[in-house]
Structure 1
Amino acid sequence: MPIYRYQANHAGCPHCQPGFDEMQRLSDPELSACPQCGAAIRRVICAPALAIGGSHLLSEKKIGEKGFTQYKKIGKGVYEKTAGKGPDIISSD
């Protein structure tokens, strides 16, 4: 279920004046009044929450299956292959 952000239109209580989050189904109607004080509120558009990175998406086995190669740093300018095709060690020398 999505989480929607609501904020008071004008004057409101300490709950709705700074804004609050509400988890609702897509089919639920938009809230028009604060659940605590009854003040008029509006839905506010804000940035979605996203998972940063992506290391949790692919295991080393799947990286190779997808055609990628993964290296791990083992020293200054030296990398060792952990998954996929390619040279076993890459060095800056």
Structure 2
Amino acid sequence: MNWLRSAAWTVFALDLVILFQMAYGVATGGGDPAAQALLRGFTLMLASSLLGVAVVLIVSSWMRNRLGLWVSLVCAALPLLWVGAGMLGLWD
């Protein structure tokens, strides 16, 4: 159970790094207005989903609920897979 909790928190921390990088991109600006609007939308979508993951992760860690930890781990891994697929060019 401890390895599951630490894995879920680690993946969540990596998602926070992605969120902070996207927020930095929004704050610095640059590029055309359509790209900035798209970046703001993706940042808001990621922030709201990470808020939900954080709530599930905190509650399931506190109550030592294995199913909640698995749900938060899978939901937190989705943005990492999304960014990884974009970096590898799988969307082309």
TM-score (norm 1): 0.20
- Which has the larger share of helix? 2
Which structure's CA Rg is the greater one? 1
Higher relative contact order (CA 8 A, sep 6+): 2
TM-score (norm 2): 0.20
- Which has the larger share of strand? 1
